[in-house]
Structure 1
């Protein structure tokens, strides 16, 4: 009998459990309960004790040195990212916050913090519990958070009894008879009393609006989820058919208890909203539909126009039989992922990597008003293997796939937000450097790791070699980043588009020698009229600058000679 080769086992510590994207930073939660961050560090949003940018994943810095002998290091089970702040949820139910705090979105009044700080005020509160009717008492059960989310300047949490808590820049709750909308900064978590007697299952936040999936009864069973929205509605992002803002939750009719659709995933952009739904049972076909509403001027609704919509409408052009497993909204773009590993994005400008077939022509960047498929182009084909989730920042997108063991990112690369060690934009998916080279994953299990089976006496030598190798890799990556920036600037100046792999001369790829003259001839031969005209203008301007500089040098030399002659001549 032919022996079947064993598949390589993966270290569970390397698996990415969750991912979240802020304005220009990304958070990833690994299988060993650690949180990593990268991108823009301003306001301390990376949680590593610094405000410097990081172009590779780094671990957040949690001070476990002060733990007592009875306490254990925190094992995180969830992450969330607002515009400039971050949240992490520990398995003991505690919430940790860091970053921007102008609106008290970290759960306290005070300055920004660059290391995670425990939200003490939340653990001092009790979860609201219904007695039936309108009677509400405080539960004797200890409050334990089981999920966290974040919006622009707000933070929210769902506790173990299904109650929703909010803090930061949130809608102020008025009386039932007064629905006047206003926002206020709340440093202490506020419970959403409107949902008492029900279970909040999922929630998402935009800049100033919120969407929640809530059970119709006390407990969530089957197809009973109801969709509520509230907050700012100037662009129709609440999906209620108008642009009137609400301070209290209202049901979205298309996803109510009596509708034909069951919502199972929600996401918010700055001023738009997305909902994934399935046909309620009984249904003969799997109809997964993405609905969007709100601001549409950048095509972020995927309706084929740049018009806003105050009622949910299906995104046009997504395959009918695709089962959508994840959706997220950026500042002005939206992305979805199917169970088959297909990824679609729409909205924003083409320069943000939403259009793999993009081309720069002058100032024509354009928006994608319909879904465009983002291709993997890897060894597995055009689709991404083992898709898990997608996260959208203001101008970048991050995808977790390969069953959680690999990350891809694309879009604006400023501040290192793509996590590939570079600062350049990427118009197609690039792999994030994962797992981080600087981190020790030895607490995970990797049966294929031969080094882990060696006697302990050999470990120091192995670690020393590994450390040296990592330092060399970091140095090479640093040099590569500088060179790539230089090439991108030069190439962009000459051809008005970023440098891509296809632009590398064939002679340089196929041999160690490079004929500059021949490569230049090939560039001129393949250039179109517009490109030739641009080259003519660029080099004409450069020649004029050189001639002008030569003339100035000659004048300086003449003046210098004259001054020396005048000083040396007798009076």
Structure 2
């Protein structure tokens, strides 16, 4: 068979306008009789989504219709408090439904963990959102039929999302009754138990059961067997709610759990109840709208379903550290599966990792020297040797972190900026109102209402880029590193003048300098240019060969200035070190400049270099994807999964115990790139500071292009696309992907 026949386009089931979208399985969230729910990371923006995977081979005709029914219902729902539907695909006998991920677990889990009764305001916050969702589906003529705490999901910010519409029923009119026996016994209404016809008021009974649980932390009715439970629901009375709650909310519970369905309020009646009076409903609506901003942006940026060609790549992720006495790379076992590392950063004496689920972990790196002054964010100055989650962000997803010498700054999903650690140079952006040490993350209020896209920390200063393209700097201003035209220190963020028609793409703080990259690939810098670490110096050659070259040395710059020696290069990324800098251009070439005392420029010698240098040797013909610079050494990774290091080798900086005897100095150095791991995994992020390096590497376990786009009916099949796979690890690969890979 012609190999081209495996192409989705050649099979004729993909439109010419289809766009590939990458997905990476993170972990299995739950399993059921007919499939499982798996958390995925979208490659394009690192957002998290859930795929409800249904094995159609295990389903009868009714269950197949239920699967299609869930898709039909989800596709017409559009409410903040209802789990958002994004897309669905058919892969052979597996139906894949892509939905919003609620990262705070379920309301059932929240209630189970609660030791004391919730405050009434907390109960009202959760209940109002669920009631709003029920009102929305009832308005569209949809009867949920399985409302329960286990099907009510939470985000870390406290938003409620009603989900699992697999057995929902669309009613032709509000007065229509249905008679099928479905639902969860604990939440079934009396009329449903008795086999009578029922309508939306049955959902209200279930919603009343949820409210009762929130108020009492127990089920309305409980029994040792289903028959006894059914009898109690129909005939028994439930225990009264604690008198600590208001009479209004206790009366509402009684009304919702009335045995006579006609006496129960509607969802709209509930939202108009006196418990939500005095502007409470309006303030809750406003809060819900603000907290749902990230989901709205995800919906707006989503590719139209008809154009998506999903490419699922299962990977294992590993984190390695070395340096500071660690002579060879050591793997940190904690960061696997759901805690796989997404981004890393290194400070003088601490390390930080953001996981795929946007959790921040920090720990000390005391081999690097220094003191703990709160830069770990754990509420104290202890030196935690193992990675520890920053509990302040338990309900706040963090998407980016940057470590300074003895402080840390991070950006949340909502683009808020937090800082913690030493405020000696004003690096925390709080004007010194918290003292010299801040041990727990503090919100930088200056950026309230301003969406920050990226932050980067130097040893004693910070630079931030907003989504509007504005640049702010603060902290130590020595050598003009803040780019404000002076050497003054600033404890509050100061806006930087960025003239030019091209916007700023990214910002990067070095030890005592700062870089900005424009969208046209031009590099700008300010701060100390000692040893040409900013790349400003130029060399003029005489007309005659014998005439001596003249070097023009620029000691420092107090304003952001174009790095002219790099003007002919389209700069893609920059990595400032303590005494030198590395740049990757759009052709994936590596360019270095600055001090070459230890061979850290990678040019094969230890001579003073006045200009910029393209690193060749082992990197000839290779695409350099990542680079970072420490104090006298450089680490880079290439597209063929190689990791190289060069420069000062002392104390394990290069991740190797070998030495280069060609240089007669007291400390061993390498002047050319040398491989550390041999052939490793693909490096996704790497950071160096002082004498330590932290690196994230991923290895592909299995890969599959799903050969179908939207489907009208889950009964429709298709040819299996060709599977490319390597070593399989069943614990991290979804069941359907394992099954296809083994065929």
Q: Which residue of 1 aligns with 2:515?
A: 274
The answer to whether the Cα contact below 8 Å between 1:79 and 1:148 also exists between their aligned partners in 2 is: yes
CA distance in 1, matches of 2:482, 2:315: 35
Q: Given the superposition, is the C-alpha separation of residues 214 and 329 from structure 1 closer, same or farther in structure 2, using an over 3 Å criterion?
A: same
CA distance in 1, matches of 2:315, 2:435: 37
Deviation for aligned residue 1:174 = 12
CA distance in 1, matches of 2:421, 2:323: 23
| Matched residue SS, 2:316 | coil
Deviation for aligned residue 1:442 = 8.7
Aligned-CA RMSD value: 3.7
**Which one has more relative contact order, counting CA pairs under 8 Å at least 6 apart?**
2
Deviation for aligned residue 1:242 = 0.5
CA distance in 2, matches of 1:39, 1:440: 17
Q: Which residue of 2 aligns with 1:303?
A: 536
Q: Given the superposition, is the C-alpha separation of residues 187 and 441 from structure 1 closer, same or farther in structure 2, using an over 3 Å criterion?
A: closer
The answer to whether the Cα contact below 8 Å between 2:583 and 2:591 also exists between their aligned partners in 1 is: yes
Out of 358, 362, 386, which is 1:115 matched to? 386
Q: Which residue of 1 aligns with 2:161?
A: none
Unaligned runs of 5+ in 2: 7-23, 26-42, 44-313, 538-552, 660-667, 682-695, 704-722, 730-743
CA distance in 2, matches of 1:358, 1:114: 38
Out of 399, 406, 418, which is 2:654 matched to? 418
Say whether residues 1:85 and 2:318 are aligned partners: no
Q: Report the TM-score, using the length of structure 1 for normalisation.
A: 0.57
Say whether residues 1:165 and 2:418 are aligned partners: yes
CA distance in 1, matches of 2:451, 2:496: 17
- Once the two structures are superposed, residues 485-515 of structure 1 have per-residue CA deviations (whole angstroms, 9 ceiling, x without a partner) of xxxxxxxxxxxxxxxxxxxxxxxxxxxxxxx
Q: Report the TM-score, using the length of structure 2 for normalisation.
A: 0.44
Q: Given the superposition, is the C-alpha separation of residues 146 and 425 from structure 1 closer, same or farther in structure 2, using an over 3 Å criterion?
A: same
Q: Given the superposition, is the C-alpha separation of residues 435 and 170 from structure 1 closer, same or farther in structure 2, using an over 3 Å criterion?
A: farther
Deviation for aligned residue 1:418 = 1.8
Say whether residues 1:312 and 2:560 are aligned partners: yes
What does 1:414-563 correspond to in 2, within 5 Å? 414-423=650-659, 424-434=668-678, 444-445=701-702
Out of 103, 118, 137, which is 2:373 matched to? 103
| Matched residue SS, 1:352 | coil
Say whether residues 1:358 and 2:605 are aligned partners: yes
Q: Given the superposition, is the C-alpha separation of residues 369 and 204 from structure 1 closer, same or farther in structure 2, using an over 3 Å criterion?
A: farther
Deviation for aligned residue 1:434 = 4.9
CA distance in 1, matches of 2:474, 2:335: 37
When Rg is computed on C-alpha atoms for both structures, the one with the higher figure is 2
CA distance in 2, matches of 1:175, 1:162: 16
Q: Given the superposition, is the C-alpha separation of residues 316 and 103 from structure 1 closer, same or farther in structure 2, using an over 3 Å criterion?
A: same
Deviation for aligned residue 1:228 = 0.7
Q: Which residue of 2 aligns with 1:54?
A: 327
CA distance in 1, matches of 2:358, 2:349: 23
The answer to whether the Cα contact below 8 Å between 1:269 and 1:333 also exists between their aligned partners in 2 is: no
CA distance in 2, matches of 1:246, 1:146: 26
| Matched residue SS, 1:317 | helix
| Matched residue SS, 1:88 | strand
Out of 623, 628, 634, which is 1:397 matched to? 634
| Matched residue SS, 2:701 | coil
| Matched residue SS, 2:418 | strand
| Matched residue SS, 2:611 | strand
CA distance in 1, matches of 2:433, 2:672: 42
- Once the two structures are superposed, residues 125-176 of structure 1 have per-residue CA deviations (whole angstroms, 9 ceiling, x without a partner) of xxxxxxxxxxxxxxxxx42111111111111111010011111123677999
CA distance in 2, matches of 1:183, 1:309: 31
CA distance in 2, matches of 1:171, 1:188: 16
